[in-house]
A and B are shown apart, each in its own frame.
Chain A
Amino acid sequence: MSDTKTSEMRFLPIIGLCLLFPLLRMFGGEMATGTPFTALESAFLIPLIPMVIFPVIAILGQMNHGDEAWRERFKEGGMIALCTLAISLSLTIWLAIEFFTKGSSFEDPLRASVFNWINFETITQDAAGNWIHLKSDSLGVGLWIDNVSMMLLFVASFLCFLICWFSLGYMNTDPVNKDRNHRFYAEFVLFTAGMLGMVLADSFLWLFIFWEIMGLCSYLLIGFYYERPSAAYAAKKAFLTTRVGDVFLLIGLLMLYDIYGSLEFAVIFGDPSLHGTVDVNMLRWALIMLFIGAVGKSAQFPLHVWLPDAMEGPTPVSALIHAATMVNAGLYLVARFVPFFDVTGHGHGVEGLGDVAILIAWIGGITAFMAALIAFVQNDIKKVLAYSTMSQLAYIFTGLGVALWFYNHGEHHAAVIAFGASMFHLFNHAMAKGMLFMASGSVIHEMHHAHHGSHDEMDPQDMRNMGGLAGKLPITSTAMAIGSASIIGIPLIGGFWSKEGIVAETWNAAALHGGTWLLVPAFLILLTAGMTGFYMTRMWMMTFAGKPKTVYADKVHEHTPWIPTPLITLSVISLLGGFALAVLGATHWLGEAEAFGTAIHEHGLVFAILDTIVHAFLPTDMFLFLITWVAISISLVVGPAMAMRIHGGRLKSGESAPRLISWILPLSSKFGRTQVDDLANSGLADALHRRLYFDELYDWAIGKTVIPLAYALSWFDKNVIDGAIKGIEWGSQKISGDVRKLTTGRPSDYIMMAVIGTFSILILLWGVI
Chain B
Amino acid sequence: MFGNPLTILTLGPILAGFAFMLVAWAAPPSKRKEISQYIRLLIFAFSLLLLSLSTLMFLESYSGISWTSLALNEYVYDNCANAEIAIEAGGCSLVDGFGVSWHVGVDGLSFPMVWLTTLLIPISMLVEWNAKKGAQFHSLILMMEGALIGVFVSLDLFVFYTFWELTLIPMFFLILLWGGENRKYAAQKFFIYTFTASVLMLLGILVMYYFTRVPVWDGNLTGRAFDITLMASSSNTLGSAFLGGFGMQKAVFLLLLVGFAAKMPSVPVHTWLPDAHVQAPTAGSMLLAGVMLKMGAYGFLRIAVELLPGAMVHYQLLLIVLGMISLVYGAMVCLGQTNLKRMVAYSSVSHMGLIFIGIATMQPLGIAGAIFMMLAHGIISPYLFAVCGAFKHHYHTLEIGSMRGIAKFSPWLGGHMMAAWMGSLGLPLMAGFVAEVAIMIAFWMAFGWWVILPALTLIITAAYYLWSMQRTIFEGGDEGQLPDSLHGDEPVDVSWHENAGMFILAVFAIVLGVLPFIFFDMMSSYSNEFVTEVLLDVLNEVMP
The reply on A243 being an interface residue by CB < 8 A is: yes
User: B58-101: contact bitstring with A at CB < 8 Å (1 yes, 0 no)?
Assistant: 00000000000000000000000000000000000000000000
How many angstroms between the C-alpha atoms of A257 and B412 in the bound complex? 40
B528 contacts A213, CB within 8 Å?
no
A208 contacts which chain B residues (CB < 8 A)? 428
B335: which of A130, A707, A729 is its contact (CB, 8 Å)?
A707
How many angstroms between the C-alpha atoms of A58 and B528 in the bound complex? 42
B364 contacts A216, CB within 8 Å?
no
How many angstroms between the C-alpha atoms of A709 and B365 in the bound complex? 34
| A120 touching B438 in the complex, CB below 8 Å, given contacts A226-B407, A243-B458 | yes
| A232 touching B333 in the complex, CB below 8 Å, given contacts A122-B363, A132-B536, A243-B458 | no
A714 closest partner in B (C-beta):
B336
User: A108-128: contact bitstring with B at CB < 8 Å (1 yes, 0 no)?
Assistant: 000000011111111110000
B334 contacts which chain A residues (CB < 8 A)? 710
User: A208-238: contact bitstring with B at CB < 8 Å (1 yes, 0 no)?
Assistant: 1110110010011001001111001101100
Give A685-721 interface residues, CB cut-off 8 Å to B: 706-707, 709-715, 717, 721
The reply on A244 being an interface residue by CB < 8 A is: yes
The reply on A613 being an interface residue by CB < 8 A is: no
The reply on A661 being an interface residue by CB < 8 A is: no
A223 contacts B474, CB within 8 Å?
yes
B429 contacts A213, CB within 8 Å?
yes
B415: which of A58, A124, A248 is its contact (CB, 8 Å)?
A58
Interface residues on A, range: 35 or more
Expressed in whole angstroms, the minimum distance between the Cβ of B536 and any Cβ of chain A is: 5
| A205 touching B437 in the complex, CB below 8 Å, given contacts A117-B517, A226-B474, A240-B462 | yes
Most buried by A among B368, B437, B451: B437
B336 contacts A119, CB within 8 Å?
no
Expressed in whole angstroms, the minimum distance between the Cβ of B16 and any Cβ of chain A is: 35
Expressed in whole angstroms, the minimum distance between the Cβ of A531 and any Cβ of chain B is: 34
The reply on B475 being an interface residue by CB < 8 A is: yes
How many angstroms between the C-alpha atoms of A121 and B363 in the bound complex? 8
Expressed in whole angstroms, the minimum distance between the Cβ of B474 and any Cβ of chain A is: 4
B473 contacts which chain A residues (CB < 8 A)? 226
The reply on A56 being an interface residue by CB < 8 A is: no
How many angstroms between the C-alpha atoms of A690 and B20 in the bound complex? 68
Q: Could you tell me the dominant secondary structure of chain B's interface residues?
A: helix
The reply on A450 being an interface residue by CB < 8 A is: no
Expressed in whole angstroms, the minimum distance between the Cβ of A179 and any Cβ of chain B is: 10
The reply on A251 being an interface residue by CB < 8 A is: yes
Q: Could you tell me the dominant secondary structure of chain A's interface residues?
A: helix
B452 contacts A216, CB within 8 Å?
no
A122 contacts B405, CB within 8 Å?
no
A721 contacts B441, CB within 8 Å?
no
How many angstroms between the C-alpha atoms of A527 and B94 in the bound complex? 86
The reply on B180 being an interface residue by CB < 8 A is: no
How many angstroms between the C-alpha atoms of A332 and B405 in the bound complex? 37
How many angstroms between the C-alpha atoms of A612 and B442 in the bound complex? 52
The reply on B455 being an interface residue by CB < 8 A is: yes
B458 contacts A721, CB within 8 Å?
no
The reply on B532 being an interface residue by CB < 8 A is: yes
B271 contacts A722, CB within 8 Å?
yes
B337: which of A121, A223, A714 is its contact (CB, 8 Å)?
A714
A227: which of B336, B437, B480 is its contact (CB, 8 Å)?
B480
A713 contacts B268, CB within 8 Å?
no
B441 contacts A709, CB within 8 Å?
no
A216 contacts B333, CB within 8 Å?
no
The reply on B38 being an interface residue by CB < 8 A is: no
The reply on A742 being an interface residue by CB < 8 A is: no
The reply on B444 being an interface residue by CB < 8 A is: yes
A715 contacts which chain B residues (CB < 8 A)? 336
A756 contacts which chain B residues (CB < 8 A)? none
Expressed in whole angstroms, the minimum distance between the Cβ of B60 and any Cβ of chain A is: 15
Expressed in whole angstroms, the minimum distance between the Cβ of B41 and any Cβ of chain A is: 26
A232 contacts B520, CB within 8 Å?
no
B332 contacts A713, CB within 8 Å?
yes
Give B262-308 interface residues, CB cut-off 8 Å to A: 267-268, 270-272
The reply on B521 being an interface residue by CB < 8 A is: yes
Interface residues on B, range: 35 or more
The reply on B466 being an interface residue by CB < 8 A is: yes
A131 contacts B536, CB within 8 Å?
yes
User: B442-459: contact bitstring with A at CB < 8 Å (1 yes, 0 no)?
Assistant: 111100000110011011
The reply on B467 being an interface residue by CB < 8 A is: yes
The reply on A250 being an interface residue by CB < 8 A is: yes
Expressed in whole angstroms, the minimum distance between the Cβ of A764 and any Cβ of chain B is: 13
How many angstroms between the C-alpha atoms of A251 and B536 in the bound complex? 27
User: A535-559: contact bitstring with B at CB < 8 Å (1 yes, 0 no)?
Assistant: 0000000000000000000000000
The reply on B531 being an interface residue by CB < 8 A is: yes
A233 contacts which chain B residues (CB < 8 A)? 470
How many angstroms between the C-alpha atoms of A257 and B451 in the bound complex? 14
A120 contacts B271, CB within 8 Å?
no
A722 contacts which chain B residues (CB < 8 A)? 271
The reply on B103 being an interface residue by CB < 8 A is: no
A707 closest partner in B (C-beta):
B335
Most buried by A among B270, B335, B462: B462
A712 contacts which chain B residues (CB < 8 A)? 336
The reply on A7 being an interface residue by CB < 8 A is: no
How many angstroms between the C-alpha atoms of A243 and B445 in the bound complex? 23
| A711 touching B336 in the complex, CB below 8 Å, given contacts A208-B428, A257-B441 | yes
The reply on A254 being an interface residue by CB < 8 A is: yes
B407 closest partner in A (C-beta):
A226
A131 contacts B271, CB within 8 Å?
no
User: A21-46: contact bitstring with B at CB < 8 Å (1 yes, 0 no)?
Assistant: 00000000000000000000000000
A258 contacts B444, CB within 8 Å?
yes
| A212 touching B440 in the complex, CB below 8 Å, given contacts A243-B458, A713-B329 | no
The reply on B134 being an interface residue by CB < 8 A is: no
A220 closest partner in B (C-beta):
B418
| A120 touching B524 in the complex, CB below 8 Å, given contacts A240-B462, A251-B452 | yes
B516: which of A118, A248, A710 is its contact (CB, 8 Å)?
A118
A118 contacts B458, CB within 8 Å?
no
B532 contacts which chain A residues (CB < 8 A)? 121, 123, 133
B332 contacts A226, CB within 8 Å?
no
The reply on A188 being an interface residue by CB < 8 A is: no
B520: which of A119, A122, A250, A709 is its contact (CB, 8 Å)?
A119
B30 contacts which chain A residues (CB < 8 A)? none
| A133 touching B271 in the complex, CB below 8 Å, given contacts A122-B365, A212-B427, A212-B428 | no
A118 contacts B335, CB within 8 Å?
no
How many angstroms between the C-alpha atoms of A209 and B436 in the bound complex? 12
A227 contacts B405, CB within 8 Å?
yes
A236: which of B193, B405, B467 is its contact (CB, 8 Å)?
B467
A713: which of B333, B456, B474 is its contact (CB, 8 Å)?
B333
B11 contacts which chain A residues (CB < 8 A)? none
A120 contacts B365, CB within 8 Å?
yes
The reply on B422 being an interface residue by CB < 8 A is: yes
The reply on B340 being an interface residue by CB < 8 A is: no
B473 closest partner in A (C-beta):
A226
A-B contact list, 30 entries, CB within 8 Å: A58-B415, A118-B434, A118-B517, A120-B524, A122-B364, A123-B363, A132-B536, A139-B437, A205-B437, A208-B428, A212-B433, A227-B480, A229-B475, A232-B474, A236-B470, A240-B463, A250-B440, A251-B444, A251-B455, A254-B440, A254-B441, A254-B451, A706-B335, A706-B460, A710-B335, A710-B464, A711-B336, A713-B336, A714-B337, A725-B193
* B interface, CB within 8 angstroms of A: 189, 192-193, 267-268, 270-272, 329, 332-337, 362-365, 368, 405, 407-408, 411-412, 415, 418, 422, 427-429, 433-434, 437-438, 440-445, 451-452, 455-456, 458-460, 462-464, 466-467, 470, 473-478, 480, 515-517, 520-521, 524, 527-528, 531-532, 535-536, 539-540
Q: A244-B459, A247-B458 are in contact. List 13 more A-B contacts (CB 8 A).
A: A115-B517, A117-B516, A118-B521, A133-B532, A205-B437, A223-B474, A226-B475, A243-B462, A250-B458, A254-B440, A258-B441, A714-B337, A721-B271
User: Which 6 A/B pairs are nearest by Cβ-Cβ distance?
Assistant: A714-B336, A710-B335, A710-B336, A254-B444, A722-B271, A232-B474
